[in-house]
Structure 1
Amino acid sequence: MAHFALFGVIRVGISKIFSNHSVRSLHSSVRLLAADKDLLVRLRKKTGFSFSNCKKALEKFNNSFKEAEAWLQEQAQKEGWAKASKLQSRKAKQGLIGVHHDGNSAVMVEVNCETDFVARNATFQELVKQTALAAMVHHKEKRENLSAYCKGFLGPSELSQLKCSISGKSLPDQLALTVGKLGENMTLRRAAWVLAPSDCYIGTYVHGALPDAAVTSHATVLFGKYGALVICQQSAENLRTNLQDIGRKLGQHVVGMVPLSVGSLEDEPSGESETRMLAQSFLLDPGITVGQYVQVNNITVLDFVRFECGEEIDSAEAT
């Protein structure tokens, strides 16, 4: 009987030990759970990935935030490229025109997706912004010592060689990530860049801008379905003219009236199908021609570029 009593005492003692250990473990687990939840929320907020994927990443790397974030990005890149390969045969006719203006430099890009719904998404707009900024950096070294304006076009192959100035990723990698997140085929279609000397001004205009709040977060890039760049030269007597306003109005005319060439001030209008810009009736004042409008303002129109999202393009703009 004494042996049984001793065994009972030992058993009770062991139970208390394990019980105390379980309580301590429970408290420890609660503290760890709280820490994990904080990391999980931070990782989700920074990366935009699902809670389940963020949880998996933290568990895989023993709550190392940096390693978990890097792994998520790597996995997203792989999944994005896989999804991009599957979707590349689907037509992408929607999208956005993006215009970025920086002093006497301007770029205009077109990035396509499948639906207008995705075009309104902030993630897609970020891709358009990155493309515009990358195109601007591409010709940055050509800005100095210009005696005349110059312009050029970049097609899909040239754009695919550029890198995002913010993330450091290549544009194709950034596109693949966006495809992975939004699930639509997307293409880097084209870009135009313009550089002008100090006596010139580049007017910019974007039409069909999206009203979504996301657009306002990209103050350096304007988005829409149509865009125009107009290169204007001011005369010595015209230094006080509001070139920004004039350039915007000329860009609006280019978008709305679709001229094919600048023409000359001597050109006479030839009817409703007139394609020479200076001979066309001015969109904002049909009682005068564009030529008369620029003469009054002592402005010379040197050139322009017009983009319409999804339009057919000639070989000069595709390469």
Structure 2
Amino acid sequence: MAAFSASDVKALREKTGAGMMDAKKALEEAGGDMEAAVDALRAKGLATAAKKSSRTAAEGLIGVAVSGTKGVAVEVNSETDFVAKNDQFQDFVRKTTEVALGVDGDDVEALKAAAYPDGGTVADKLTDNVATIGENQQVRRMKTVSVSQGAVVSYMHNAVSPEAQDLGKIGVLVALEGDASEDVLASLGRDIAQHAAAMAPLSLDADGLDAEVIERERSIAQVKAAESGKPENVQEKMVEGAVKKYAKENALLSQIFVKDGKATVEEYVARVAKEAGASIKLVDYVRYHLGEGIEKEESDFAAEVAAAVGG
């Protein structure tokens, strides 16, 4: 018979912030001794990690890794930019990105459950990091790109250092399918990756743009067209023209290539392929900008200090 009750598990969870199963296991191992269970959770870093898990983590690092014709980008967040400069955190991001190369699909949960090089799982190491570094950290997302023949080229904008070009704030991978030489693909891939880093395309082509985003642009265009006072048939053309312009400017293949200034990215790729006497096609890409889409909390530092002192 258990030496503790459900209410004891509830009390331990409230006291430490640990998960239900972790709290139950700690009480079982401690023979129902509440304080011993608290100490056990603290020793394992579970109490600390759980308490910090609600804090917003919008800083951190993007990691990129390429092996053969496959590449992956991973975003790992922390609460402050200070942690991103921590050697332990950087090592975790780099090794987790390498682990991601062996994970099928873009499933973050599968990545967290995968074996970590130093033992345990990625999730285990993450929990340990939260406890030892003292900030909430999250493996937020990952994306894999690959080709059957050709190259996957990586580029990191704002890398953490010249020696660590695989970690930084904006990570890009470009997947080029084709039979061109390694040098041609590497050079072209880097040029396109730098373009993507600067121009922030939303999709590979117009068909890949989010339908909700297109409808929002359509609505904006309709309001502008109505304000013009022009005939309805003219307004319709204005709206369609505005939507097409938006799609062209936000799809990678149809953007004007920064390095050229005249040709689109798709046209430039075709030109390079022709000059090389080879086949080259841009089939996929990923651009991760650290923290994009995360709503950051505004904090009043003075108020936080006052509250801490008062508490």
TM-score bracket, shorter-length normalisation: 0.5 to 0.7
Q: Give the CA RMSD over aligned residues.
A: 2.6
Q: Which residue pairs with 1:233 in the alignment?
A: 177
**Is residue 258 from structure 1 mapped to residue 223 from structure 2 by the alignment?**
no
Q: Which residue pairs with 2:112 in the alignment?
A: 160
Structure 2-normalised TM-score?
A: 0.62
Q: How does 1:199-238 map to 2 (within 5 A)?
A: 199-211=149-161, 216=163, 222-235=166-179, 238=180
TM-superposition CA deviations, 1:191-215 (whole Å, max 9, x none): 1122321x2211211111113xxx7
Distance (Å, rounded) in 2 between the aligned partners of 1:128 and 1:76:
25
Q: Which of 68, 91, 101 is the matching residue for 2:66?
A: 101
Contact 1:98 1:109 in 2 (8 A): yes
Distance (Å, rounded) in 2 between the aligned partners of 1:263 and 1:273:
8
Three-state SS of the structure 2 residue aligned to 1:300 is strand
Q: Which residue pairs with 1:283 in the alignment?
A: 258
How has the CA–CA distance of structure 1 residues 271 and 184 changed in structure 2, closer, same or farther, with 3 Å as cutoff? closer
Distance (Å, rounded) in 2 between the aligned partners of 1:193 and 1:304:
9
1:83 Cα deviation after fit: 1.2
TM-superposition CA deviations, 1:254-291 (whole Å, max 9, x none): 22112223338xxx983797112122111223233212
How has the CA–CA distance of structure 1 residues 260 and 271 changed in structure 2, closer, same or farther, with 3 Å as cutoff? closer
Distance (Å, rounded) in 1 between the aligned partners of 2:259 and 2:45:
45
Contact 1:76 1:180 in 2 (8 A): no
Q: Which residue pairs with 2:216 in the alignment?
A: none
1:119 Cα deviation after fit: 0.5
Instruction: Report the AA paired with residue 296 of structure 1.
Output: R
Contact 1:112 1:186 in 2 (8 A): yes
Contact 2:61 2:290 in 1 (8 A): yes
Contact 1:202 1:231 in 2 (8 A): yes
Three-state SS of the structure 2 residue aligned to 1:92 is coil
Three-state SS of the structure 2 residue aligned to 1:230 is strand
**Is residue 171 from structure 1 mapped to residue 144 from structure 2 by the alignment?**
no
How has the CA–CA distance of structure 1 residues 86 and 109 changed in structure 2, closer, same or farther, with 3 Å as cutoff? same
How has the CA–CA distance of structure 1 residues 84 and 297 changed in structure 2, closer, same or farther, with 3 Å as cutoff? same
How has the CA–CA distance of structure 1 residues 241 and 288 changed in structure 2, closer, same or farther, with 3 Å as cutoff? same
Q: Which residue pairs with 1:194 in the alignment?
A: 145
Three-state SS of the structure 1 residue aligned to 2:171 is strand
**Is residue 117 from structure 1 mapped to residue 82 from structure 2 by the alignment?**
yes
Identify which range, 95-104 or 270-279, moves more after superposition.
Answer: 270-279
How has the CA–CA distance of structure 1 residues 76 and 127 changed in structure 2, closer, same or farther, with 3 Å as cutoff? farther
1:82 Cα deviation after fit: 2.1
Three-state SS of the structure 1 residue aligned to 2:262 is strand
Aligned residue pairs total 213
Q: Which of 267, 281, 288 is the matching residue for 1:300?
A: 281
Q: Which of 53, 78, 86 is the matching residue for 1:88?
A: 53
Q: Which residue pairs with 1:311 in the alignment?
A: 292
Q: Which residue pairs with 1:245 in the alignment?
A: 187
Structure 1: stretches of 5+ with no match in the other structure: 1-74, 140-151, 314-319
Distance (Å, rounded) in 1 between the aligned partners of 2:97 and 2:257:
30
Contact 1:159 1:190 in 2 (8 A): no
Structure 1-normalised TM-score?
A: 0.61
1:99 Cα deviation after fit: 0.3
Distance (Å, rounded) in 1 between the aligned partners of 2:89 and 2:132:
9
1:96 Cα deviation after fit: 0.5
Distance (Å, rounded) in 2 between the aligned partners of 1:78 and 1:249:
49
Q: Percent identity?
A: 35
Distance (Å, rounded) in 1 between the aligned partners of 2:247 and 2:198:
13
Question: After the TM superposition, which segments of 4 or more aligned residues of structure 1 sit over 3 Å from their partners?
Answer: 75-79, 238-241, 268-273
| Structure of greater Rg | 1
Distance (Å, rounded) in 2 between the aligned partners of 1:89 and 1:175:
15
Q: Which of 256, 270, 273 is the matching residue for 2:245?
A: 270
1:243 Cα deviation after fit: 1.2
Q: Which of 137, 140, 143 is the matching residue for 2:102?
A: 137
1:234 Cα deviation after fit: 2.2
1:78 Cα deviation after fit: 3.3
